[in-house]
Amino acid sequence: MISLFRILLLSGLFCFGRLASAADSLDTIIIDAGVDDPVRIAVVPFRQRVSMTADGKPLYAFDGLQNMSDIIGFDLARSGQFAPLDEGNMLSYPAEHKEVFFRDWRILGVEYLVIGRANFEFNGDVSVSYHLYDIANERQLLSDRVTATRAKWRDIAHHISDVVFEKTTGIRGAFSTKIIYVLAKDAGSPSATFSLELADSDGERARTLFSSHEPILSASWSPDGRQVAYVSFETGRPAIVLQYIESGSRELLTQFPGINSAPVFSPDGRSLAMVLSRDGNPEIYVMNLADRRLRRMTRHHAIDTEPSWTPDGQNLVFTSDRGGKPQIYQLEMSTNFIERLTFQGDYNARARLLPDGRHLIFVHRRNGVFHIAWQDLERDVLRVLTQTSLDESPSLAPNGTMLIYATQDRGKGILAVVSIDGRVKYRLPSSSGDVREPSWSPFIRTLSEG
Amino acid sequence: MARHLVYVLCAASAAHFALDAAAAVPVEESVAEVRENRTEERRPPPTRPFTAPPTIEAEQPAQGNQRLSQLFYQLQILQQEVQELRGIAEEQTYKLNRLARDQQEQYIDLDRRMAALRSNSPTPAVSGSTSKAGGFASTTTQVGGSGTERDAYTAAFNLMKGRQFEESATAFNQLIVDYPNGQYTPNAFYWLGELYLTNVETEKARQSFVQVVNLYPDHQKVPDALYKLGVVYHRLGDAQESLRYLDRVRNEHPQSSAAGLAETYASELQ
Amino acid sequence: MTQHWLRSFLLMMLAGLVLAGCTTTSSETEQPQGSDQAQDPPDTAPPEPPPVEKPDYELIDGVLKYRDSPVSQTFLFDYDRAVISPADLSELEKHAAYLNENRDKKVVLEGHCDERGTREYNLALGENRSNAVRGFLISAGVSASQIETVSYGEERPVDPGHSDAAWARNRRAVLIYR
């Protein structure tokens, strides 16, 4: 099983020393850029206590578990909004409220402080209590306790990152989310394999959902995060497959003559937009998932493809070359009114709308190079977000602050993340092969309630 | 030749109707039904409305095939060309709409400027300045004394440097009245904008900067004025318009120092 | 040739094209058999070929040969275009002639793209490339049931390079005899 990162490389005063030494894999998250003035936060190593049996032997061990503070600190760092304080520069290591001295942190220039403790219960569950402080105002902002099984160790850490992020920035955190992507090994050779991988949003804990000797592409999450629809060539020709993530059970949705491509769930999860060429050439259809009935949405001899839904589920945006070159159009489904949305550049494709419905991200070609661009639909302003080349398949985090996309690095397919304002950037390469076609999950529940 | 093309086009559109009609059948149907239809399509339909008259088929059937494939090829090229024309039409419509909108904005600004001039200046001064503003105005200012205009400008500028803002604003306003087509008029508008901005007379500042941008689009002060309009609209609470001006600086004057300022300002806005 | 004749002829042919191209109906019923040889240059198609003489067309190991020289089975396209190159028309006519003579023979038309652009758009573009060849063959009399199309988009490059030359080689439709 691959893990996409081990090391954090972050220049500047505030940096992480511990993670670098923990490297046991070639794979690296490389943070290329953050905001100019990130929030200074200190995440103190959590105090980890081992329960003893009556004869003094440790009941459970923390072996193999990364300290929770490392995971949280790294989450916050890769958001680009935070600069976590290096552990070596800390003056004290409080783990509970009475050990916190605000002055210690103020002189270090820290704005927020996170402390916590992790204990193993007798049943083997992990119990984590944590606190968040506002140093300038000498105030405790948050105090909570989470209990889950040992297997949920990283989920607990991501949950705490989410809570801290939301409390300090006002934006819902998306660290507990997952990504799905395609890993291609020996692509182009007869022994090529393609696998659909599911991983945490930081690239950790990857597992294979499906693998094949034929290409896989266009993975799309259902809004409840339980299913994924994708295109598989396993039969030698493209087909749309629906797979349940937990059980792994798969169902062939469409395999019409011609292409079956670009499935995307509607916001309510009841329909799937897709591209079929069964009626002659690539057109957009919407399938009602309850009765599997198809409704044809476009009718043009040009290519119509890459549909996606507006957040209200009333319109589809799609790519069409009806104007001679690929551009993005919007279809109002109730009236069939079609409007062109992009006018800058001669290649704009695969658009996705931000949750506000007012902004678009898409693949945009400028000076012959493919980048990810952002466009304000009301003000008609376009901004290129990436400096890499051959960028494609942008997929938004559910909180709309970041997007993941596929790009090339020295001829190798890698994943990369950029914030919507273009200021925060990091890369997720893989040593196992080419990675591509990323799809960011919706908000999902990784810890059971209670 | 042109006539032939018309026939091909007619036939091409007929082909599309037929395509649509054929495709329109399975608009809403289950997957199973679609599969059935597919197999059905492979069988020859019972009636064929467009059977070629036997005379021609008998005469030159093979040539017919060749001509047909040539027509198919022509149809492909025509489709491609129609798509490209559509693209041009879409882009020109878009540009026209934008132009119309910009022009309307310019007109509104002009209208406001005229109104402001009429209400601000005492009647004799207006008549005096309008006569100067006629065809001879530029020669008047050049011949009549660029020295005096420069003096007036220097005086107003020095007042500003001396932090006598109100006096400076009065002087710049007088300069505009006296030399409506003068060499320093755009600069006067610009500095007035700055002075009003300092004095929190934001709407007046806006009007002054708009003058620079609209009346002297090639003037060196335009990038700065655009940037300041971004600032002004932000202060007036119109973030949308603010960003539009900030983006204009970056797009139209990427080399100017104002572009850097606009970049920073815009990123802070978001 | 009168205008009237030409007009009716063109309309008729297009009507046939509509039926052949759009409803994927077999055109066997429309095209009388045995007429296909007339597509060959007249001097090479004797009315009744003697059985000892070698035929013009031979399919050997999936390669179509016309008088011993192989007929091109890969057709290249311009960037972001799905219009057949005029240079390929004569080669396609040869495939059509062979398929018209041999109704039991089937072909698969694969559509491919270079790596630039988005994968899903390229899948559609590859589909349009294979469809362009398919439409041409059908309008040249080949039965739709003899033709299968499949698009691989940018997933199966013939040249893994990232140069203009590699991209040009990858923008193709490939005709494969089954």
- Residue by residue, DSSP assigns chain B as -HHHHHHHHHHHHHHHHHHHHHHHTTSEEEHHHHHHHHHHHHSPPS--TTPPPHHHHHH-HHHHHHHHHHHHHHHHHHHHHHHHHHHHHHHHHHHHHHHHHHHHHHHHHHHHHHHHHHHHS-HHHHHHHHHHTSTTHHHHHHHHHHHHHHHHHHHHHHHHHTT-HHHHHHHHHHHHHH-TT-TTHHHHHHHHHHHHHHTT-HHHHHHHHHHHHHH-TTSTTHHHHHHHHHHHHHHTT-HHHHHHHHHHHHHH-TTSHHHHHHHHHHHHH-
Q: Mark whether A380 and A321 lie in a shared domain.
A: yes
Q: Mark whether A190 and A308 lie in a shared domain.
A: yes
Q: Mark whether A283 and A419 lie in a shared domain.
A: yes
Using a CB–CB cutoff of 8 Å, tell me whether B136 touches chain C.
no
Q: How confident is the model at residue B110 (pLDDT cuts 50, 70, 90)?
A: confident
Q: What is the pLDDT of residue A91?
A: 92
Check C117 against A347: CB less than 8 A apart.
yes
Q: Mark whether A60 and A201 lie in a shared domain.
A: no
What's A101's domain CATH number? 3.40.50.10070
Using a CB–CB cutoff of 8 Å, tell me whether A434 touches chain C.
no
Check C35 against B62: CB less than 8 A apart.
yes
What's A250's domain CATH number? 2.120.10.30
- Is the pLDDT at C22 greater than 50, yes or no? no
Q: Mark whether A112 and A192 lie in a shared domain.
A: no
Report domain extents, chain B. 200-270
Q: Tell me which residues of chain B, numbers 53 to 82, contact chain C at a CB-CB cutoff of 8 Å.
A: 53, 56-57, 61-69, 71-73, 75-77, 80
Q: What is the pLDDT of residue A201?
A: 92
Q: Mark whether A256 and A403 lie in a shared domain.
A: yes
Q: What is the dihedral of CA B92, B93, B96, B98, to 10 degrees?
A: -110
Worst-scoring range by mean pLDDT, B6-10, B113-117, B133-137, C168-172? B133-137
C10 contacts on B by Cβ (under 8 Å) = 4, 7-8, 11, 71
* Number of A–B residue contacts, CB under 8 Å: 74
- Position A229 in a domain: yes
Q: Is the ipTM of this complex over 0.95?
A: no
Encode pLDDT of B3-49 as tens digits.
444 444 444 444 443 334 333 333 444 444 444 444 434 444 444 44
Share above pLDDT 70 across residues of chain B, in percent, rounded to a whole number? 65
Q: How confident is the model at residue B268 (pLDDT cuts 50, 70, 90)?
A: confident
- Whether domain B200-270 has CATH 1.10.565.10: no
Q: Which of A434, A377, A398, A406 is nearest to A188 (CA)?
A: A434
- Is the pLDDT at C17 greater than 90, yes or no? no
Domain count, chain C: 1
- Is the pLDDT at C113 greater than 90, yes or no? yes
- Position A45 in a domain: yes
- Position A15 in a domain: no
- Position C2 in a domain: no
Q: Mark whether A137 and A39 lie in a shared domain.
A: yes
Using a CB–CB cutoff of 8 Å, tell me whether A237 touches chain C.
yes
Q: Mark whether A104 and A226 lie in a shared domain.
A: no
- Position A10 in a domain: no
In tens digits, chain A (450 residues) has pLDDT values of 344 433 333 333 333 333 332 222 226 577 777 677 889 999 999 998 776 666 766 666 676 788 999 999 999 999 888 999 999 999 999 999 999 999 999 999 999 999 999 988 777 788 999 999 999 999 999 999 999 998 899 999 999 999 999 999 999 999 999 999 999 998 777 888 999 999 999 999 999 999 999 999 999 999 999 999 999 999 999 999 999 999 999 999 999 999 999 999 999 999 999 999 998 899 999 999 999 999 999 999 999 999 999 999 999 999 999 999 999 999 999 999 999 999 999 999 999 999 999 999 999 998 889 999 999 998 878 999 998 888 999 999 999 999 999 999 888 899 999 999 888 889 988 888 999 999 999 999 888 754
Q: Mark whether A272 and A392 lie in a shared domain.
A: yes
Check C35 against B71: CB less than 8 A apart.
no
Q: How confident is the model at residue C24 (pLDDT cuts 50, 70, 90)?
A: very low
Handedness of CA A429, A432, A435, A438 (dihedral sign): negative
The residues pairing with C150 across neighbouring beta strands, listed in sequence order, are: C110
Q: Mark whether A284 and A332 lie in a shared domain.
A: yes
- Position C50 in a domain: no
Using a CB–CB cutoff of 8 Å, tell me whether C85 touches chain B.
no
Q: Mark whether A220 and A191 lie in a shared domain.
A: yes
Closest Cα in chain B to A342: B91
- Position A396 in a domain: yes
Show the domain range for A55: 34-169
Average pLDDT over residues C98-102: 95
- Is the pLDDT at B78 greater than 90, yes or no? yes
Helix or strand run (H / E) with residue A293: strand A293-296
Q: Mark whether A379 and A322 lie in a shared domain.
A: yes
- Position A23 in a domain: no
Encode pLDDT of B148-191 as tens digits.
888 888 889 888 888 888 889 999 998 888 888 888 888 899 99
Domain count, chain A: 2
Q: Which of A301, B14, B80 is nearest to C12 (CA)?
A: B14
Encode pLDDT of C41-82 as tens digits.
445 555 565 556 778 899 999 999 999 999 999 999 999 999
Average pLDDT over residues C145-157: 94
- Position A18 in a domain: no
Distance between C173 CA and the closest CA of chain B, angstroms? 16
- Position C108 in a domain: yes
